[in-house]
Amino acid sequence: MAFRLKLGFYKKTCPSVEAIVKKETANIMSVAPTLAAPILRMHFHDCFVRGCDASILLNSTTNNQAEKDSFPNLSLRGYGSIDRVKSAVEKKCPGVVSCADILALVARDAVSFLNGASWPVPLGRRDGNVSNSTETLFNLPPPFFNITQLKASFASKGLNAKDLVVLSGGHTIGTSHCSSFTNRLYNFTGVGDSDPSLDSNYVARLKTRCSATDTTTLVEMDPGSFKTFDTEYYTLVAKRRGLFTSDAALLADSETRAYVTSHATPQGSKDFLKDFAKSMVKMGKIGVLTGSQGEIRKTCGFIN
C-alpha cells in the first residue's frame, strides 16, 4: 500500500510541530518580510526537481554539485531560516520531522504572514538523498518560457493551466534581478528593440532601473505592493506590465488570460486566495517520498 500525505501526520510523534514552525516563521518574517518570496520559490523549486523531498536544501560536496548551486537557484535565499526552524523542531522532537515538511510549512506560514492565503499542509514527506544541479535545468521553467512551454512544464508535474496561472500569482510578493528580463528591454530580436508585449511606458521606466548588463539590481515584480500578498499582480499582467516573458505569456492562452482578466479587479482577491491554497496543496504533493523511502535528515544541508 502506498503511503499518502495526511493532515496531522505528527499528531502522536510531534504534536506541537506546526505551532513551533509558525512561531519561528513569524519571528523571521517580522525582521525580514522580504524572505517570504524566496522561501515560497524555494518550495516550488524543491517540488519541481525530484518532488518535494528537500533536495534543494542539500549542500554540494567535493564530487557533487547540488541543486542549490545550479544557475536557476543562485538567487534563492532563506536557507538559514529553514535551518533555524529545523533546529527549533529538533529540540522538541529529535529525528522526527523531515526538512521537506518543514519547508512546506514555512512556505505556507510566510505567505500567510503577509496577509496571503493560508492552507492546511498535509504532512509525511521524507527527505531525499540525491541532489544534482543539472536536474534543475531540465525541470525548472525559466522566466523566458512561452505559454506552450509553461503548460508542458507544469503538466509534466501533474499541474494544469489553472494551477499555472494561479501559482504565477505568487509573483505578487516577488523581486527579480534585472538579468531575468533585460532581454525584453534592450535587444529583444537582435536589433536593439524591446519586447512589443511589454507596455512601452513601462519599458522606459524599467530602463532607468536596469542597464543592459546589470546583474545585481533587484526590481519589485509588483511595484508598491510587493510586501502584500494580493491580486495586484494580475492587474499588472493585464496592463502588459508583467516583468517576465512567462508573466506576459499568461495572456497568450484563452484559459489563463480569462483568469488574469477576471482577477485584475479588487473583487477577485478572495477566490484567488482560495485557488492559491488549493494549487499549493497540489504542488506540495509532487513526487513525494513517504513511508520508509528516503530518510529524516538531522540537518537539512546534509544527508545523515
Q: Percentage of the chain surpassing pLDDT 90?
A: 93
Q: pLDDT: is 102 or 228 the higher one? A: 102
Joined together, the cell numbers standing for residue 276 give 492559491
Q: Do 134 and 164 fall within a single domain? A: no
Domain count, the chain: 2
pLDDT at 238 over 70: yes
Residue 83's φ and ψ, nearest 5 degrees, are -60, -40
CATH number at residue 32: 1.10.520.10
User: What is the phi/psi pair of residue 176, to 5°?
Assistant: -135, 145
Binding-site residue numbers are 46, 49, 51, 53, 55, 67, 141, 171-172, 222, 230
Domain hosting 196: range is: 147-281
Residues flagged as binding site for substrate: 141
Express each pLDDT in 159-172 by its tens digit.
999 999 999 999 99
Judgement on whether residues 164 and 72 belong to the same structural domain of the protein: no
**d(C-alpha 1, C-alpha 167), whole Å:** 31
Q: Is the pLDDT of residue 36 over 80?
A: yes
1 pLDDT higher than 50 = no
What residues are designated binding site for heme b? Answer: 171
Share of the chain above pLDDT 70, in %: 99
Q: Do the beta carbons of residue 99 and residue 57 sit within 8 Å?
A: yes
CA distance 9 to 97: 10
Same domain, 159 and 129: no
CATH classification of the domain holding 272: 1.10.420.10
**What is residue 270's predicted lDDT score, i.e. its pLDDT?**
80
Give residue 73's pLDDT: 96
Q: In this predicted structure, which of 25-39, 134-148, 258-272 has the lowest mean pLDDT?
A: 258-272
Choice among 43, 45, 177, 263 that is catalytic: 45
Q: Does the pLDDT at position 108 exceed 80?
A: yes
For 190-210, how does the pLDDT look when each residue is reduced to its tens digit (9 = 90+)? 999 999 999 999 999 999 999
- For the cut 60, the answer to whether the pLDDT of residue 2 exceeds it is no
72 is a domain residue? yes
Looking at the structure, do residues 59 and 162 belong to the same domain, yes or no?
no
* Spatial separation of the C-alpha atoms in residues 75 and 70, rounded to whole Å: 10
Q: Does the residue 151 lie in any domain? A: yes
Of the residues 139, 155, 174, the one at which a domain ends: 139
Catalytic-residue membership of 45: yes
Q: What number of CA atoms fall less than 13 Å from residue 181's CA on the CB side?
A: 26
Binding-site residues for Ca(2+): 46, 49, 51, 53, 55, 67, 172, 222, 230
Alpha helices in the chain (DSSP H): 17-31, 36-48, 79-92, 99-113, 133-139, 147-155, 161-168, 200-209, 232-238, 245-248, 254-262, 269-283
61 in the same domain as 41: yes
pTM confidence score: 0.96
Q: Is residue 5 part of a domain?
A: no
Least Cα distance to 169 among 43, 81, 275, 72 occurs for 275
pLDDT digits (tens, 9 = 90+) for 219-235: 999 987 778 899 999 99
Mean pLDDT for the chain overall:
95
Last residue in a domain, options 109, 139, 169: 139
